[in-house]
Chains A and B, each alone.
Chain A
Amino acid sequence: MSRERIEARFAALKAEGRSAFVAYVMAGDPDPATSREIVKGLPAAGADLIELGFPFSDPVAEGPPIQKAAQRALAAGMTLRGVFELAADFRRGDQDTPLILMGYLNLIVSMGFSAFARAAAEAGIDGVIVVDCPPEEADPLADALDAAGLALIFLATPTTDDKRLPVVVNRASGFIYYVSVAGVTGVKEADESAVAPNVARIQAASGLPVAVGFGIRTPERAAAIARIADAAVVGSALVDEVAEGLAMNESVTTRVLSKAETLSKAVRFARVGAAV
């Protein structure tokens, strides 16, 4: 059921002739209750898909914004069980927006692959991205997710050459996440002229939609990527709004959702007037 929700969303957007806006937020950041409010508000703010980070103590692929978000979430008592509860609560009010978990392998190993996959499916989660689980190590997780009907979404990067690409797309489903820069999240900026040929290459090899992330912070960047990819993912820039809101003693929810709205509009209208 879950994998279908991702496919249905991309098919609908294709029919509309536009790219998806994918919003990444850290589950439990800055606290479980606020985070729940933010996630619930994201579809109305224009998020076509939601990536829900689950916090890990040692997130080696993250830059400072998402590292700090994970620390805030953990300090506020967020757990994997809490992430599932948040997802289930969201799903009761929204049957259409795909919900993708994103994080690191150790929590999944600790819970057990099958137990994790079942709990995720029950919570209404549709797909999983595991940053430190490359295709070489993915079979046990992929088997468990397959059995539960969830998509395992693989990452491709600027270092994934043509020789390696078949390995990456072999067990991929849902979509491929193209990491547009060699680096951690939220530091370097994606350049659409360098990204475009890679998106085309990965689309051809996988037959799946390609979402681009890791280097998109502004509406301008989001629009530029939306013109050449099936989805633009923004994470650090949204997570920064949490930090700013806390620092300025303003409503974190309002700040994040208003930022999401600005970005989603940029994505929504990116191709208007442009030759598609």
Chain B
Amino acid sequence: MNAPAKPNDYTAYPDAAGRFGRFGGRYMPETLMPLVHDLEAAYAAAKADEGFQAQLDGLLRQYAGRPSPLYFAERLSERFGARVYLKREELNHTGSHKINNCLGQILLAMRMGKTRIIAETGAGQHGVATATVCARFGLQCVIYMGAVDVERQKPNVFRMNLLGAEVRPVHAGSATLKDAMNEALRDWVTNVHDTYYLIGSAAGPHPYPVMVRDFQKVIGEEVREQCLAAEGRLPDAVVACVGGGSNAIGLFYPFLNDDVRIFGVEAAGEGVDTNRHAAAINGGRPGVLHGNMTYLLQDAEGQITEAHSISAGLDYPGIGPEHAFLHEAGRAKYLTATDDEALAAFQLLAELEGILPAIESSHALARLPEVCAEVGKDGIVVVNLSGRGDKDVATVAAHLGRQI
């Protein structure tokens, strides 16, 4: 409603009320509002504390293995006719970009004196990253995961158990990421005194979207430096898959005020024109869920509808509020990729580059033909390879009709 069509500074959001234009905000039950305000204050203090930043930087280097490489994908480049680079977030400790945010938030939780950590997870990547940092710092950890996702991501469930986390399957609703988030919120409202809710997406009530973006923007900052070093200039386009959108906003944010084209890729499931997809921007409309106003999959009345994607990590009916804002402001373009297109991209990257991408990241790869065509032969495209695909091997085999 109040969003300026073309802001001078795209990085100046959110405002003090946690708004990115008309999106975002703090739509939480009253019991949690004081906690949300406490978190905002604690995060502001941590952000201003050099010691906090130094400790986080040390962990990102020594524990997570940052910086992650920016890899020139020669054969992909040949195939699609542009200079294609992959930001290798899948090489981070725990196998995805999720560790960046978890390290930041676990340090914050400890500063706040919290002793019990809860989180939601879809594909299990955020759950594994949360369980990992809880093990590292000796904190109790409970992960909520949709029962359907527990089934399709068994290796990650066992991984979390090995790391000492309790995984609680959620049977309500569609038994996927949205329902896991509902249940985590119910836990938080019940255990306000000792519990920290470690949200993995750039979603939820303010300050989560800005905090998660800040902890993930290291991705784009590194890409900037690495691309300048390799090519002497910034990329022409950056591409990332978008569920809640944490890997995407981490890549996009440092380029928002540059002449760089920005593409998010939503999961189209069986097609945006069917009712089995997870494309909140391309197939939804604005509403309020899980603490923020954003684009949501919903019926005519406003009941949230079930998302569908082959990828558990993108199987969510909403999207982070900053993406909703960038979409309406026209700064970023949100494309879609179907289950089948993601599967094909998964196989293509394995065959051409010897890398198994997460099925989530495969959605971003699936739009390379169009993005490369836009930037041309000498154009530079950076794709965020947000996670590794080992966890998806069984899913891919099943879709290919193969026994393993």
A69 to chain B minimum Cβ distance, whole angstroms, is 13
Instruction: Establish whether residues B189 and A61, one from each chain, have CB atoms under 8 Å apart when the complex forms.
Output: yes
Q: Is residue A119 within 8 Å, beta carbon to beta carbon, of the partner chain?
A: no
B31, B178, B185, B304: which contacts A159 (Cβ < 8 A)?
B31
Cβ contact within 8 Å between B30 and A106: no
Cα-based distance from A168 to B301 in the complex (angstroms): 29
Please measure, in the bound complex, the distance between the C-alpha atom of A57 and the C-alpha atom of B306, giving whole angstroms.
10
Contact with A along B26-37 (1 / 0, CB 8 A): 111111111100
B190-217 to A contact mask, C-beta < 8 Å, 1/0: 1111000000000000000000000000
Chain B CB within 8 A of A132 CB: yes
Distance A106 CA – B303 CA, assembled complex (angstroms): 8
Q: How many residues of B contact A (CB 8 A)?
A: 38
Q: Which residues of B contact A58 (CB under 8 A)?
A: 173, 178, 182, 289-290, 304
Asked if A134 and B27 sit within 8 Å, CB to CB, the answer is: yes
> B29 touches which one: A56, A67, A131, A187 (CB < 8 A)?
A131
Chain B, residues 296-318, CB within 8 Å of chain A (1/0): the string is 10101111110000000000000
Residue B186 CB within 8 A of the other chain: yes
Q: Is B288 positioned at the interface, with any CB of A under 8 Å from its CB? A: yes
In the complex, whether A183 has a CB less than 8 A from a CB of chain B is: yes
Residues of B within 8 A of A132 (CB): 27-29, 288, 291
Chain B residues, Cβ within 8 Å of A183: 31, 189-190
**Are A136 and B17 neighbours in the complex by a CB distance under 8 Å?**
yes
Bin the interface of chain A by size.
35 or more
Q: B398: CB under 8 A from chain A?
A: no
Q: Which residues of B contact A136 (CB under 8 A)?
A: 17, 25-26, 33
- Which residues of A have CB within 8 Å of B293? 109
Partner of A60, one of B35, B182, B298, B300: B182
Tell me if A57 and B34 are in contact (CB < 8 A): no
Cβ of A206 within 8 Å of any chain B Cβ, yes or no, is: no
5 residue pairs, one from A and one from B, having the closest CB atoms: A110-B302, A183-B190, A157-B31, A107-B302, A155-B30
Q: List 12 A-B contacts (CB under 8 A).
A: A57-B304, A61-B29, A74-B303, A104-B288, A106-B288, A109-B286, A109-B287, A133-B27, A136-B17, A137-B25, A155-B29, A182-B190
